[in-house]
Amino acid sequence: AINVFFQHAVTSWFYFQTGIWEIVNVRFYRHLGGEAVILFLIMTSFLYWSKMIAQKGQVDEGYLYRSRFLRLAPMYIFCAGLIVLSIFIQSGFDIDIKQTAKDILSWLTIGLITTQSVNGVSVLPVNAGIHWTLHFEWFFYLLLPILAIFLRSKKMLIMALPLAFYALSSDDRGYWAIFFFGIIAAHVYKEYPKLEFFNKKVSSIVPILGIVLVYFMNYKPYSFSQYIVSMFIFLSFVYGADLWGFLKTHVAKFLGTLSYSIYLIHGIVLFGVLNSVDYFYPIVNTTPIQFWSLITLSGILTVVVSSITYRYVEYPFIKMIKNNKTETAKAEITERVM
């Protein structure tokens, strides 16, 4: 989430230069955000497919969708409300009721439909367009019970093949494939649950080398070759590579806890801070030191706001999930990671 924040911070700079929101065409920042998203989607499919393996393909669909709704929807709707309010203010509250009602209804799909605008105003500069990943995440959850049939019997594999064919032949196959590599990672970990090498401190060099390899492999992220390397980067963390203890620190755990709020709200904070300053002094006239000082302020505000939204928007619903939990002990272990 922090990587994506910095990618969008630099993208914001170019937005003020051109008036067009487009992910910055700088190799370092493209990979900074792109690799983070790839690892997140691999993690999603790894965790939930691991649950499916542990439960031998048996899915409690009611619990799955109730828990995912309670985990994802509250913060998503909260941020959608902030975005709509921001756009109303930008529009001087000159609102096209019919169009705006349709736009708000699309927000209420909780990401299944990726909302591009509200009241004729693009949402991309306001929230950095981060909600596109929810579209793929939700469809993965919807397809999960069907894919899990394969785990009940190898003879049932034929039922999953049409879905796999559709996903890998569609225009979005580059994104669907990421989930596929997370599923492969889950099977690798099941067959080889321990690798002694990753108990050593030197193992932390493995994900670092993987990240460097990804950077030099392609100019832009989202390629099949990158997914293969990213799968091994992710597995190195699963096996115990902790970046010389950093991932076990309270700071890392704290930011991990806030990651969903940080991911959803960082674009809104960047937009608010930079546009407030631009109202009095043009962002395009700021020096690099001034601009990065504003980004530092935005980063601190993002963490502070995310702490509040986690406690008062996310946590009450997370608590509801835990109070109604009926999954197996092994599934509970993976849920704690989420």
Say what angle helices 132-147 and 27-54 make with each other, to 10 degrees: 20
Distance CA 27, CA 239 (A): 29
Residue 299 neighbours by CB distance under 10 Å: 19
Check: CB of residue 87 under 8 Å from CB of residue 124: no
End-to-end CA distance of the chain: 14
Task: Give the span between the Cα atoms of 178 and 30, in whole angstroms.
Answer: 17
Place of tokens 């393909």: 57
pTM of the model: 0.89
Alpha-carbon distance of 271 to 125, in angstroms, equals 7
Give the model's pLDDT for residue 160: 63
Q: Dihedral sign, CA of 132, 126, 271, 68?
A: negative
For 216, the token pair is: 């030099």
Tell me what pLDDT residue 334 has. Answer: 45
pLDDT in tens, the chain (338 residues): 999 999 999 999 999 999 999 998 899 999 999 999 999 999 999 999 999 999 988 889 999 999 999 999 999 999 999 999 999 999 899 888 888 999 899 999 998 888 889 998 999 999 999 989 999 999 999 989 888 888 877 666 666 667 666 666 777 778 888 999 999 999 999 999 999 999 899 999 999 999 999 999 988 899 989 999 999 999 999 999 999 999 999 999 999 999 999 999 999 999 999 999 999 999 999 999 999 999 999 999 999 999 999 999 999 999 998 887 654 444 444 444 44
Length of the chain measured in residues: 338
Task: Supply the pLDDT for residue 324.
Answer: 73
User: Are 75 and 312 contacting, i.e. CB atoms less than 8 angstroms apart?
Assistant: no
The total of other beta-carbon atoms located within 10 Å of residue 209's CB is: 13
What residues contact 311, with CB distance under 8 A and at least 6 apart?
Answer: none
Give the span between the Cα atoms of 245 and 70, in whole angstroms: 32
